[in-house]
């Protein structure tokens, strides 16, 4: 069982309390302020007694340090980076006693007093999707608007405020931006719904517009990447296929067969696609440690790399021309050179000494 599924199950079973109750916490973290290198990567660990950010210096390929940035009761599965070192964490819920979260916490681990503020939202903000204009969408885990629609909160990351609440008839799957600035959201009424919806968002008016429906069996938008006017996504973890899909029609223009199962997060670099394979298991047994390299001209896998166990997220630094992969089953980091398509370094944080322990969750590299 994955860490996310395990914690979500606990939430559903023992959900008690209320939004806005008194919240005793253990303060905003231990550790000294962390220096921010010229080209950093931020790595999130929400495991038990963690809630830590690890900072990686991409130029030196060294771990700068780690710091607890949220109280241990705060449960967050996602974060975004604004500017050089401002981090935004949507708080899904509070643990023991369990209460629904209702805010986005803003911190800067380079400061002595690292908490910068918070943004109040609808209950259970579970994901954050930054846009190029300084706005971000907040996904909520429960149907929270009069039990008829899901709230999609639009926030101003710099101004630290809610811009607008929008409403969709299903749970948000992803938000994508094309190179020309056009923005689309994906949502699905239920997990078993035969159709998905892609809907355009107009940034000038902060409103939702034209929508298109397509078969839910076409692809899974959760970990998709944008290349030009196309989207590249998997059919889901049970398949060995990557689909290239036109936007907004969501018609498949090409399919790529993989040699490994469980494709998840992926990243684009130098006209190649790098795809993590992860079964989602928490412990080392039964998990994968592979990244497939796909030549998008040939539309074929040209190499399969051995990386950290249970690779759960991947990101590309254009400034350093390096790809970073993080492990979900141990605090291990793999660095890939996209010129040679080889793993050039493996880093192990002292955060967890055993590779079978709780690992990282999310990786973000500021653009």
Whole-number Cα distances in Å, 158 to 117, 119, 257:
11, 11, 42
Which pLDDT value is given to residue 19?
A: 43
- Rounded to whole angstroms, how far apart are CA atoms 195 and 193? 5
- Rounded to whole angstroms, how far apart are CA atoms 254 and 87? 37
- pLDDT tens column, 266-319: 999 999 999 999 865 554 445 688 999 999 999 999 999 999 988 999 999 999
Average pLDDT for residues 209-231, to the nearest whole number? 86
Q: Smallest Cα–Cα separation from 258: which of 244, 243, 240?
A: 240
- pLDDT tens column, 54-99: 999 999 999 999 999 999 889 999 999 999 999 999 999 998 778 9
Q: Smallest Cα–Cα separation from 363: which of 58, 2, 103, 31?
A: 58
Looking at residue 132, the DSSP 8-state letter turns out to be: T
- Rounded to whole angstroms, how far apart are CA atoms 184 and 194? 20
Which pLDDT value is given to residue 209?
A: 94
Q: Could you write out the DSSP letters of every residue in 7-62? A: HHHHHHHH--S-TT-------S--SPPPP--SSEEEEEE-STT--EEEEEETTTTE
Which pLDDT value is given to residue 30?
A: 67
Looking at residue 131, the DSSP 8-state letter turns out to be: -
- Rounded to whole angstroms, how far apart are CA atoms 243 and 265? 14
- pLDDT tens column, 24-44: 445 555 678 999 999 999 999
Domain residue spans of the chain: 1-30+69-168
- Rounded to whole angstroms, how far apart are CA atoms 278 and 263? 7
- CA angle, 332 then 219 then 175, to 5°: 70
- CA angle, 120 then 224 then 339, to 5°: 115
Q: How far is Cα of residue 157 from the mean position of the Cα atoms in its chain? A: 17
Which of 2.40.128, 1.20.1440, 3.40.109, 2.30.30 is the CATH number of 1-30+69-168?
Answer: 2.40.128
3-state secondary structure of 5: helix
Task: Using the structure block, give the residue that is written with the tokens 């907040």.
Answer: 138
- Higher model confidence: residue 171 or residue 347? 347
- pLDDT tens column, 162-200: 999 999 988 899 999 999 999 999 998 877 788 899 999
Q: In this structure, what token pair is assigned to residue 201?
A: 């968002």
Q: Band of the pLDDT at 147, cuts 50, 70, 90? A: low
Q: Smallest Cα–Cα separation from 293: which of 317, 308, 276, 313?
A: 276
Helix (H) or strand (E) holding 275: strand 272-277
């Amino acid at each position: 069982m994955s860490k996310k599924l395990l914690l979500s199950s606990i939430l559903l079973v023992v959900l008690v309390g209320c939004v806005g109750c008194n919240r005793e916490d253990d303060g905003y973290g231990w550790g000294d302020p962390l220096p921010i290198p010229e080209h950093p990567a931020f790595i999130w660990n929400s495991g038990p007694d963690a809630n830590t950010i690890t900072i990686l210096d991409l130029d030196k390929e060294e771990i700068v340090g780690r710091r607890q940035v949220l109280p241990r009761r705060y449960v967050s599965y996602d974060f975004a980076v604004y500017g050089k070192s401002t981090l935004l964490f949507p708080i899904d819920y509070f643990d023991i006693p369990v209460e629904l979260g209702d805010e986005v916490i803003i911190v800067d681990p380079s400061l002595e007093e690292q908490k910068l503020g918070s943004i109040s939202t609808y209950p259970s903000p579970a994901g954050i999707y930054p846009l190029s204009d300084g706005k971000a969408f907040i996904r909520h885990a429960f149907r929270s608007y009069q039990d008829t629609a899901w709230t999609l909160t639009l926030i101003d990351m710099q101004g630290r405020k809610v811009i607008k609440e929008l409403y969709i008839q299903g749970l948000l799957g992803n938000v994508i931006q094309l190179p020309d600035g056009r923005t689309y959201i994906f949502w699905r009424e239920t997990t078993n719904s035969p159709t998905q919806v892609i809907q355009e968002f107009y940034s000038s008016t902060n409103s939702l517009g034209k929508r298109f429906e397509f078969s839910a069996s076409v692809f899974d938008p959760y970990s998709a990447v944008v290349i030009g006017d196309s989207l590249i996504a998997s059919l889901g973890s049970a398949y060995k296929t990557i689909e290239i899909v036109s936007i907004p029609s969501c018609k498949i223009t090409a399919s790529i067969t993989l040699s490994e199962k469980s494709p998840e997060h992926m990243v684009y670099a130098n006209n190649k696609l790098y795809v993590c394979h992860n079964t989602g298991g928490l412990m080392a047994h039964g998990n994968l440690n592979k990244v497939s390299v796909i030549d998008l001209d040939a539309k074929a896998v040209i190499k399969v790399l051995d990386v950290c166990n249970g690779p759960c997220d991947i990101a590309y630094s254009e400034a350093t021309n390096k790809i970073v992969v993080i492990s979900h089953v141990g605090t291990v980091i793999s660095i890939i050179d996209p010129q040679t398509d080889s793993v050039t370094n493996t880093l192990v944080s002292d955060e967890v000494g055993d590779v079978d322990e709780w690992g990282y969750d999310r990786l973000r590299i500021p653009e």
